[in-house]
Amino acid sequence: VDCGGPDCPACPTCDDGILNGNETGVDCGGPDCAPCSGECTTQLINSNDFNSSYGIWNDGGSDCTRSSAYADYAVGGTGAVVRLRDNSSSSNMTTDDLNLIAYQELTVDFTYVASSMDNPNEDFFLEISTDGGASFAQVEEWNLDDEFVNEVRYFETVTIPGPFSANTQIRFRCDASSNTDYVYIDDVSISGCVQGVGSRLSKEVPAVLSTKEIIRTVGLYPNPTRGQITLSFVMQEAAQVQLRITDISGKLIRQEAMQIDEGTQQRELNADHLSAGVYFMHIQSKDQIITKRFVVIQ
């Protein structure tokens, strides 16, 4: 569809050196190509929308709060969200000890909105400990005016390579300058790769056929979802777009082609027929493919 011939891009093949089509790695994986060497099986370890409890997460103290009073910063504007502030010893939330020895790689998905951060040195971190919290190593950092601006929602996917231990902890930590500097965190899911590390898809995967980018600011929420999921994106110009949903093995679940106008777009998709697990949403124009990862829970 929309490929091949003199006027369209070449159709995806299993030897074109590009991650495209239903492949899960470059020229491998999915229903049409040979399996990727050491391709992983992804398992959902935990997910939490924080509406009812912290779950496996623990608040660090007075500078960490889970509350529905901040619902404006929750996905969809309803429910509870975790707020971190300041840069004190309590400006964090940390998981319980997790036995992750079996996993070669972790993926942490979450969404956040920062508010009232007021200088470039204000940021927050994702950190990991493999010694039960005695020490933490920084995995990723988000800085004001670099990775984010205030009052804008972001969706993040972070991959953490192993090895891991039987008392692994994951921590979000705020590094602001006062009690009036905030980051609101919601919809955190942790998944793990077993049976070898495969080709990973993170953030907006650059499976791009050319350099012309007309699809931007792609978001999927709520993520994880129990049913309905909203896809939002911005079109720089009107174009035909194909939406595809695949499972972790690359099997095609849903496909739809449509003509999209310029501007901000939002589409409601029904995911309640999907089994619990990890899926990928592929948004493709003539010159661009963006892939977003989402989790379905029961």
Of the listed ranges 169-178, 216-225, 232-241, the least confidently predicted one is 216-225
How confident is the prediction for the chain on average, in pLDDT? 85
pLDDT tier for residue 220 given thresholds of 50, 70 and 90 = confident
pLDDT in tens, 118-176: 988 899 999 999 999 999 999 999 999 999 999 998 888 898 988 999 999 999 999 99
pLDDT in tens, 11-22: 888 887 777 777
Say what percent of the chain tops pLDDT 70.
88
Give the pLDDT score at 225: 85
Q: How far apart are CA 265 and CA 189, in angstroms?
A: 25
Does position 36 have pLDDT exceeding 70, yes or no? Answer: no
Long-range contacts of residues 233-240, Cβ cutoff 8 Å, at least 24 apart: 233/264, 233/265, 233/283, 233/290, 234/263, 234/264, 234/265, 235/260, 235/261, 235/262, 235/263, 235/265, 236/262, 237/262, 238/262, 239/214, 239/285, 239/286, 240/2, 240/285, 240/286
Does position 60 have pLDDT exceeding 50, yes or no? Answer: yes
pLDDT tier for residue 200 given thresholds of 50, 70 and 90 = very low
Does position 9 have pLDDT exceeding 90, yes or no? Answer: no
pLDDT in tens, 61-116: 999 999 999 999 998 788 999 999 999 999 999 999 999 998 888 999 898 999 99
> What residues contact 289, with CB distance under 8 A and at least 6 apart?
20, 205, 207, 208, 209, 282, 283
The residue length of the chain stands at 298
